[in-house]
Structures are given as structure tokens and as C-alpha cells.
Amino acid sequence: FATHNAHTAAAILHMADGRDRFEFQRLHGMGEQLFRLLRAQEEIRCRIYAPVGAHRDLLAYLVRRLLENGANSSFVNQLVDQEVTPEQIAADPFDQLPAQPSTAIRSGSALFLPQRRNSRGFDLDHRPTLDGIDAARSPFRDHRWQAGPLVAARDHYRGTPLERRNPALPDDSLGSVRQADANDIEVALTAATAWEAAPEARARILQRAAELYEAHFGELFALLAREAGKSLPDAVAELREAVDFLRYYAANVTAGMPVGLFACISPWNFPLAIFSGQIAAALAAGNGVLAKPAEQTPLIAWRAVQLLHAAGVPVQVLQLLPGEGDVGATLTRDPRIGGVAFTGSTETARAIRRAMAGSLAPGAPLIAETGGLNAMIVDSTALPEQAVGAVIESAFQSAGQRCSALRCLYLQEDIAESFQRMLFGAMDQFSLGDPWLVNSDCGPLIDREALRAIVAYIAEAETEGRLLKRLPAPQAGTFLGPTVIKVAGIETLQREVFGPVLHLATFRADELAQVIERINATGYGLTFALQTRIDDRVQTVCERINAGNIYVNRNQIGAIVGSQPFGGSGLSGTGPKAGGPHYLERFQRHPAVPTGPTEAAAGAPAPGDLQALIALAGTRRSGAAISLPGPTGESNRMRMAARAPLLCLGPGAAVAAQQAELVRSLGGVAVEYGVSSPAGVLTGISGYSGVLWWGGEAHARVLEMTLAATDGPLLPLITGRPDSGHLFSERHVCVDTTASGGNTELLSGMPPAGGMR
């Protein structure tokens, strides 16, 4: 028994039968007097434990010991504190803990109170919990679901049932789905209505839906494993995220003006969480929703919509249209759709933007969350064991099928060889197999098409001599062993490889600034991670990197709703961040009433060089960071970084001035350039983040088509008041504050007690 606590030692001696079948241990230089007395009085054995090793190995260990033994609650600390009485020191800590709960540290369920209750957690290291999960999902091990569109005023569908199979076990048939046809889509659009219920009623129904999700965890875990290839930890995280979305948006329901009808187009890699999050946000804002799930995971979406309907969401307000890409294409070209929420590839987002520009009302919002070329930098001060764990989780969890996943790892040359050995050794412990099984670390790729594409990519790298490591994979199903490929840098990656493929590059200590420049030059800006124990480096890198979500000394996946709002900028998305305080704004209308001259009387074209005016406008400093709730040992802070200028085109100088004044009053950067006709104004122009136009639809359509045709980030046309997401890009930084040795917040926040080491 390793302890310096007299109460612990006394309890052990009281319970022990004899003295010859156990021993105590103490650290060299600590507990000397205690064990001198015990040896004299009780004839116990005590082994002195002296840590020995190199500086790089011992430093973190010694810091942890210092933090633990220096904590207010530590027995060793209290023993030398003259203000602590012997009675307090000798008190039983288990008697004191319930009597003195920490007011500084919240329990898991109360983490987000008073706004909302946290989602239910599942301890997968707890045997009774695992038994409960098995009991709940076992009825669905061989269950077959029969799914199809869920459309108001229709209960019969003509489509041919398409069989759904388990990507891990091709012989496992989950059931079938009937896809929506053109007639189903038309019926749904005709029947669709906005949700006119009072905000309080909408919130109650979304809360009820969250309860139903949790009550049906067994069926949902089974579906996530069998249809989406989710391991049990991933299934737990996905259900919790979906529940968190429902409760978070329910808690943020407002009485604003809805857009009308929203098309929600979701991906297969988070078929429950993102699907539910898009829908919950649109419903919370009072919109009607036509949900188009990914063609690979329609059964999960179908069951989720059933639960939302059971909670009280009217069928005409929420309708499900499963199918292939043509269903989404039809929705994004229909003028009855008021806005689109999309998560998927950047290329598909561009196609949606072009379709919307030609058919939907000018200014219809597109909320797009797209991919990224996400990097992690590991410097020579990082704790290797911790960094290796973060790399494994970031690159290979969920078979690398996350938009947040690590794609390019930069190792400082000084540690590259030893770190690589440790990384490859950790990879060898990775287990691939049926995601239903608890001992499976990694499930399959989603389908054969994805597998073929990545296998071909790896084969090319192997031919070029750049394949460093590849794990074997089961022959059945669509499994792919985690793979590491050598690259010169992130600039050599032509596209995102959406699977368990990690690209590895090295850098010299004096090249850190250039590495950051190369990462930023990709144009993506989703997630980034830094492993270091130098505080100045953390601050410098976080200020310079262009990423929506930055993680320090931890993995870069698994953003928590309300704690780590998720979303990128540039080629990685439009914003605002999902699960953040500004997301619902984009699902509502913000009409503007111009007070300037009419378009016909707008006057002469604006003078001056528009590109020069953009350059002169510059940017504003980012706003102060705000702290967001989270668990102890973790810091979550978000700041609003000013976007590039918004072009205020009027029509006319007076309206443009009004627009610019509004933008500046909200903290943004504006360029006034009032014109009577916007035709050709944007030709060859760059360096702006969006356009304000409060004129007629014909000219607005010209602007929409022009913006949709531009390369680079997706730029909005704003036909009303801009929301905060038009003016600012949200930047979130999550820091594992325990990485420097211990959880100082936890140790200092606990009340004094006769605690254990």
C-alpha cells in the first residue's frame, strides 16, 4: 500500500489479518517519521520507492507529485500546516466528502446548469454498465427495420425497398429503406409549414425528444454499430451529442422570425448527432424542416425522426426524405426552400451554393460545415506518452472518418525518431473488428467505394517509398488498417483523405513559423492541435493559426456542445459554430428597412477603386475571449475574430452608408461602395467576406450568381441585417490544463479534509 497518509495506514492495519502478507511503500524523502513510528509499534514492512531516470522522463512525474502533495487537501501538506488541528488531520475523508461538497467543482450532470442538464454518461469501464448496455441493445442484434419517407398526408410509398447491410459484417442485413421519389418531394414541399408553436412549447417538445433519445439508447446503439460501423465509445459519444444539441437549442429558443422552410442535408459519419443538431436548431428557431439524410445511413435518421414526432413535433413541420444526391439537389433548387443547412464536402457545398443562387430567394442562408486538412504540431517539450495518445485518438478513432480528424502530424526533428517508435508501438495495440464488440477500437469504413479510393491512395504512396506503417485489417467488411505515410509537409496533400491515414512530416525548431504559414496556406481552417509545455508557444501559435477549433495538449476530436462550439472558417465552413451561442441567429430572418433613396434614384456609381478601399479598410482586433463551461482540468475559451470587410453596395450611396453604419455599430468592418447596379462590380475583387444589398431581386440575383461562382470560401449575400456570424469568425481554444503535471484546479478547489494522497 503506497501512502503517506496516517489515516489510511491506520485503516489498513485495523482491517489487516496479520502483518506478514503485505507491505507499505513511501517515496524517498517523504513519510519518514510516520513509518518510523509504524515500524516500531506495528512491526510492518515499508519499501522506500525512489524514482530514477533521465530528466525528460522524471520531470512530469515529479511535478505531479509536487502538485498532489502540495494541495490543500493533501495529508502531507496539512501535516506541516500549523492552522490545521490534529482532529482535522485524523478525520476520515470519506465522512467529510459528502458533508463538504466542493462549491467550485460541479458534478457531471450539473455541468451546464442552470441552462440545461447534461446528457447521460456511460462508464464503459464499469461491468454493470456494460451489462446494462448489452441487455438494452441485444434485442436489436438481429432486428430488421423497414424505413421510408416520413411525409405529411402520406402513408404509402411506391419506391422499391433497398436492402441495408452492415459495413463490418456484409452478411448482416439490417432491413430496407424506400427512397423518396419526385412525387414524395412535391407532396412534402406542399404540406410543409413553419412551426408556429410558442417558443416555450417548442422548447418543451425538444426537451422531450432528448428524453426519448436517451430512453431508446439500446436501439440507437445497435443501429449506430450495425448501420454506421460505430464502436461502442463512438456510439455513446454520438448519442450524447445528439441529446446535448436538443437540450442546448431548446434552452436557447427565442421569439425571433423564422426563415420558413429549411432543407437539412446531413452526413453519414455522424448520422444521429449532426442530423439531430441541424433539425433541432431549425425547429428551435420556428422553421419547418425537410430532412435529407445521407444515403448510407437512412435507418438511423428514420428512427430519430420517429422519436421527434413522438415527442410532439408535428409531421408537417418535420418531414424525412431519404434518398441519394438527387433528393438534396431537388430541394436546393426549389424556391419554396428558405435556407439550407449542410454538412459534407467542400465540393458538394459549392454545388449547393450555385443551385441556391439560381433558384432560391436572394439572401437565403446556407449554413455549411465542410472538411479540413487538420494538423497537429508536437514539439520537443511535449510529454510523449500523452502526445502519442492524442495522435492515435485524433487520427484513427472512428476509422478517421471525422471532419475534425488529424490528417498531418508535424514532429520536431529532435524527437521524431523516438516518438515514431512509440507511436508505431501504440498502433500495434490497436484492435480492428466488429464495432458491436467492446474490445474493438476501430470499425470499418462506411462502404466499398470509400475503401477502394483510400487503398489506391495508399498503394501509390507505397510505390513511392513513403509508406511508414500499416496495420493489417480483417478480410470481411470494409476495414482498413490505420496507416502512416511520410510527406514533406501539408502543402503536398491535394485533398482530404477521409479515413485512418496519417501523414507525417518533420520540422526544425526554427521552422515553427513557416509550418504555421503552410498550414494556413491550405485555405482550410477547421481543427488544429498543439502539443507543448511552453506557455509562450501556446499563446503565439493560437494567435497565428487559422482554425475554428484549437486544442492544446489533448486530442482534436469530440467537441462538446456548449463547451466547445464546433465549426471552421475559410474552406472549412461558413459559420456560425454548431452548438454555440450564435448558431440559431442564422436560422432566423433579420429584415432591414433602408431609409435612403430608392434604387431608381440611387445616383451615379460610387467613385474610387473598390479593391483599394478594401485594402484601406483593414481589420479590427478580435474581441475579448469568453469562458465556456466544461469539466475541471480543461479550459474552454472562445473569442470573436473580425472577418474581412463586408461590402456595402446599397443600392446607392445613402443606403450603403446606412449599411456601413450598421456593420460598424455591431463591431464589424465595412466598405461603402454604393451603386445603382451591381453588374460587374465584383469582377476581379477579393479580400471581402460578404456583400450587403437591400435592392431589388433582379440585381440581387446577379450578385448571388457572382458570389456563387467565386473560388475560395463560400461568401454570403446579405439582404437584411447582418448577424454576428457575418461579422465575426468564432475561434475556440481548448487547453488540457493538467498536461503540465496535475489538475491544479481540482487540487486547489477541494475543501480542506483529511484527504488521501
HEC sequence for 17-42: CCCCCCCEEEECCCCHHHHHHHHHHH
How far apart are the C-alpha atoms of 378 and 390, rounded to whole Å? Answer: 10
Q: How far is CA 513 from the centre of its chain?
A: 26
- Looking at the DSSP bridge assignments, the partners of residue 648 are 672, 692
Helix (H) / strand (E) element for 227: namely helix 217-228
CB-CB neighbours of 460 under 10 Å:
12
- The question of whether 403 is a catalytic residue gets the answer yes
How far apart are the C-alpha atoms of 734 and 552, rounded to whole Å? Answer: 6
How far apart are the C-alpha atoms of 636 and 235, rounded to whole Å? Answer: 24
How far CA 347 is from CA of 2, 328, 353, 456, 528, in Å, comes to 58, 14, 10, 21, 22
How far apart are the C-alpha atoms of 293 and 301, rounded to whole Å? Answer: 6
Q: Which is the catalytic residue, given 227, 241, 264, 403?
A: 403
C-alpha R_g of the chain? 29
How far apart are the C-alpha atoms of 719 and 594, rounded to whole Å? Answer: 11
Q: Which residues contact 611 (CB under 8 A, 6 or more apart)?
A: 684, 685, 686, 687
In terms of Cβ atoms closer than 10 Å to its own Cβ (0-12, 13-18, 19+), residue 157 is middle
Q: Which residues contact 627 (CB under 8 A, 6 or more apart)?
A: 635, 636, 637
Q: Which is the catalytic residue, given 227, 238, 241, 369?
A: 369
243 three-state secondary structure: helix
Cβ–Cβ under 8 Å, residues 376 and 390: yes
- Among the residues of 111-216, which ranges form H helices? 127-137, 182-191, 199-215
Q: Pairing between strand 670-672 and 24-27?
A: unpaired
Cβ–Cβ under 8 Å, residues 363 and 586: no
How far apart are the C-alpha atoms of 683 and 161, rounded to whole Å? Answer: 49
User: What single DSSP character describes residue 327?
Assistant: H
Instruction: Compute φ and ψ for 199, nearest 5 degrees.
Output: -55, -40
How far apart are the C-alpha atoms of 622 and 115, rounded to whole Å? Answer: 27
In terms of Cβ atoms closer than 10 Å to its own Cβ (0-12, 13-18, 19+), residue 13 is middle
How far apart are the C-alpha atoms of 625 and 636, rounded to whole Å? Answer: 10
| E-only strand ranges, 58-183 | 145-147, 161-165, 173-178
Catalytic positions, please? 369, 403
